[in-house]
Amino acid sequence: MIHHVVSWTVREDLDRAATIERIRGLLTGLVGTIGSIRSLHVVENVAYPGKNQDVAVVATFDDLAGLDEYQVHPDHQAAAAEIRELVTGRAAVDWES
């Protein structure tokens, strides 16, 4: 199983709650469209604002090939492009268990 986590900081000039909901909609909308997604959750930071990033996606895939399929899928590419316009910082980690 491959676990994929990406977190972002919402741009300061945008409404934080509305932006997180937009990101949530973009990413959860991929479930059922990209067959390699086994689970996908969008979570909002609730502790240490200003230190922690604001929002993250936590997704799982059967293997690296599934993660690769997700990364290059046109619908994911479109969602990622829109998300890049809404955020300033990004961090990611992928691990296998």
pLDDT tens for each residue of the chain, 97 residues long:
999 999 999 999 999 999 999 999 999 999 999 999 999 999 999 999 889 999 999 999 999 999 999 999 999 999 999 999 999 989 999 999 9
Question: Which pLDDT score, from 0 to 100, does residue 59 have?
Answer: 98
Q: What is the pLDDT of residue 20?
A: 98
Question: 10-16 contacts: CB < 8 A, separation 24 or more?
Answer: 10/54, 10/55, 10/86, 10/87, 10/88, 11/86, 11/87, 11/88, 12/88, 14/86, 16/54
Claim: this prediction has a pTM higher than 0.85? yes
Domain boundaries, the chain: 2-96
pLDDT of residue 89: 87
Q: How far apart are CA 43 and CA 97, in angstroms?
A: 21
Q: Fill in the amino acid letter for 54.
A: D
Fold assignment, 2-96: Alpha-Beta Plaits (3.30.70)
Nearest-Å Rg of the Cα atoms of the chain is 13
